[in-house]
A = this chain, B = another copy of it.
Amino acid sequence: MLFIRNFILKFALVAIVLTAFSCKKENADDANTKSKTTISQEHPNLILTAQGVRDIRAQLGNIPIFDTTLKAVQEEIDAEIALGIDTPIPLDYSGGYTHVRHKRNMIVLQKAGVLYQILDDEKYAKYVKDMLMQYEELYKTLPLHPKTRSYARGKLFWQCLNDSNWLVYVSQAYDCVYNYLSEEERNTLETNLFKPFADHISMDSPQFYQRVHNHSTWGNAAVGMIGLVMNDQELIDRALYGIKDLKLDTNEKDDDGGFLNKDGKAGFLANIEEPFSPDGYYNEGPYYQRYAMYPFLIFAEGLHNVKPELKIFEYKEGVLLKSINALLNLSDADGDFFPLNDGQKGMSYYTSALVTAVDISYHFGTQDPGLLSIASAQDRVLLDDSGLAVALGIKNGKATPFQKKSINLSDGPKGKQGGVAILRNEDIELVFKYAAQGSSHGHYDKLSYSLYEKGEEILQDYGLARFVNIEQKGGGNYLKENKTWAKQTIAHNTITQNETSHFNGKYEIGSQHHSDLHYFYSENENVQVVSAKESNAYPGTEMLRTMVIIKDEDLEKPYLLDIMKVTSDKANQYDFPYYFLGQVIQTNFDYKAPKTLNPLGTKNGYQHLYVEGTAKANTDNTKFSWLNKGKFYSLTTATNTDDEILFTRIGANDPEFNLRRETALMLRRKNTKNTLFVSAIEAHGSYSPVSESAVNSNSSIAALKVILDTTDYTAIAITNINGNSKLFITANTNAAAEAKHTLKINDKDYTWVGAYYYQ
């Protein structure tokens, strides 16, 4: 059967090729064998399409961003071809030579395939063929990869994940040269390389393949894409729905401590269903979404092209395309993704997966002209139909700026498991996380936040503890400090109770819970508010955090008002850090700097903090200013005179210098049941070492005062240095938009409708 299908296909394709442009293979035959079915099976059909290739060729030289991308790719691949082919016997972890080489090969193959199609130059097809044949020779000899650290070892790489990456790319290359190869060559490759390769990462590695996890998404896409090229329905079904009739132990865990397959779900569709909320938020956060986006989208594109009847881009109310918009909104002013959970700082929408995402979103979505400005900034496009659409859009002057606004993204398959809110005003961005655990890459950071000014961190989220792909640092893999530090609650800008992390740092517990939105309003640009509640992180303790970005006309920039209300059934110690960066400029409290530095504690992340200064708060308002990258920042926080203040620095018990030696100011409130932390964070002024002038280097907030704090309401008066006062009241219980509130404070009546009052 395979033989016959390929035979028909070959003739059909050649006929089409002949009608469109001159063909080097003099093998014309009757084009009438072509049928509806065989048209959809002509090659390329996976990412590039035969029609797309014709369109691209017609436009070449006339589509600047596409032309420059093509030129760069051609130069890159020509240089690789000149170097010759190397498919070494697999030996290394990430970062080692054989790992890097095979990873490079998959990219090179994919690009060479595309060049063959677009440039119609056989040298690229021959190169792809030669390398594939070398892989075929190699693969059939390979045992499991010699490195044993993975829960699912690959053959070319130390983990099936990387093997899957390889097949996702190489499927595309195979599709591009499909018709260049003889049927015998195809049979050889499919029988000895592609089919066993797909089987190894799926049938032989169910603990990797048969689950809802970004790893599995790669596996599904790999199996599915080669299935689409080979027109192998069994592989396609395995990709979409998982391995048939296989059930795994739902209690097993992977290397990262995540459950292997808690719910028994598997396959590409389940992988779309589970991790994405209806708003398109991906449960592991933007860093892993970025990683997962490529297989999601490239396989979706392939399905769209080969199996249009599946309507994959409409699946779950179009969540795949929605998720791209969510992801773009989860980046700062520079396009860097917020490092929620295990996220590497600096990863941005300039990564190639986002070129794919932006181009596909534009082409298969609503042709949002804002995406064109991001594509312009990326300065390259996919060399396929979607890249052509983007290139034409840019060329025709359709690009407009991509406007990031305040946004509230729900978490959970049904959008019922908390979420992430981003409040934006001018250059200030607040990222407030009240989501679910975030799978095995989640951190114990309920109600934590980070704050940015124009792409620079004011108060940071530490991100992950890993030097991704730097072999010298733990093979480029997660370092043990990721668990002992980065995931711990004390590493985040939220409350740590009694020096233990949320859920006791246990994934089994954390993954059963999520925070809940109390309310979110961003319509009034001058007062944007998000409020959320956490009831499970510390049994017996409730935390309600309300964060407001306020634009006060007396202040230079919008500032953050942070109200953390804690209600507990027993007395606790609360630690409340502010992870600032840069240099201390001023405090309004006297502190002692120790002669020697000692760790703050022995576990739960505390063992990694040195104490650089200690103080007692001596006024109602503790103030602290710092300078970072030429901007001044000030914290004003309402304190009790019993509050302790600590300056801490990361780096204790870090014998391999795996952590960044960064700082925090920490409030410590001991032996307290119910309490309130109220802070204002201002960005203000600037300093330039060139002009040497310090502009507006002082805080403009004169006082923060808690006027009222009851079960139902918390009221804060903010007085600025001009003597003007504003009152912010948040409804702690009934926050309905239509709720009417009347409240007497100091004999004055306040009446309003909605969750909060500000005036």
Contact = CB atoms under 8 A, between A and B. Distances in A.
A697 B95 contact: yes
A288 interface: no
Contact of A694 (B470, B599, B647, B657): B470
This protein's copies in its complex = 2
A467 B660 CA distance: 24
A549 interface: no
Contacts of A598: 595-596
Given A596-B597, A694-B471, A697-B471, A689 B347 contact: yes
Nearest to A693: B469
17 contacts: A346-B688, A346-B689, A347-B689, A347-B690, A348-B689, A351-B691, A468-B689, A468-B692, A469-B692, A471-B694, A472-B585, A583-B657, A592-B655, A593-B654, A593-B655, A647-B657, A649-B661
Given A595-B599, A694-B476, A584 B468 contact: no
A553 interface: no
A344 interface: yes
A531 interface: no
Interface of A: 95, 100, 344-348, 350-352, 467-473, 476, 583-586, 592-593, 595-599, 610, 612-613, 625, 627, 647, 649, 651-657, 660-661, 687-694, 697-698
Contacts of A687: 470
Contact of A473 (B585, B592, B593, B698): B585
B469 A694 contact: yes
Given A470-B687, A689-B344, A656 B584 contact: yes
A307 to B, nearest CB: 32
Given A472-B625, A687-B470, A694 B95 contact: yes
A472 B586 contact: yes
A609 to B, nearest CB: 12
A690 B100 CA distance: 16
Interface centre among A467, A688, A693, A694 (most CB of B within 10 A): A694
Given A345-B689, A597-B610, A692-B344, A585 B470 contact: yes
B470 A690 contact: no
Contacts of A599: 595-596
Nearest to A291: B692
Given A467-B583, A469-B692, A595-B599, 15 more contacts: A344-B689, A347-B692, A468-B689, A469-B693, A470-B627, A471-B694, A472-B625, A472-B698, A473-B585, A584-B657, A595-B598, A595-B652, A596-B597, A596-B598, A649-B661
Contacts of A347: 689-690, 692
Contacts of A613: 655
Contacts of A583: 467, 657, 660
A613 B655 CA distance: 8
A610 B656 CA distance: 16
Contacts of A476: 694
Contacts of A467: 583, 585, 627
A713 to B, nearest CB: 37
Contacts of A585: 467, 470, 472-473
Interface centre among A351, A468, A689 (most CB of B within 10 A): A689
Contacts of A660: 583
A653 B597 CA distance: 11
Contacts of A694: 95, 469-471, 476
Nearest to A655: B593
Given A346-B689, A689-B345, A691-B351, A595 B470 contact: no
A342 B661 CA distance: 26
A655 B613 CA distance: 8
Interface centre among A472, A473, A476, A585 (most CB of B within 10 A): A472
A690 B350 contact: yes
A358 to B, nearest CB: 14
Nearest to A347: B689
A415 B644 CA distance: 58
* Closest A-B pairs by Cβ, 9 of them: A346-B689, A584-B657, A593-B655, A597-B597, A472-B586, A470-B694, A468-B692, A596-B598, A351-B690
B95 A690 contact: no
A468 B692 CA distance: 6
Contacts of A586: 472-473
Contacts of A647: 657
A564 to B, nearest CB: 26
A456 to B, nearest CB: 15
Contacts of A657: 583-584, 612, 647
Contacts of A625: 472
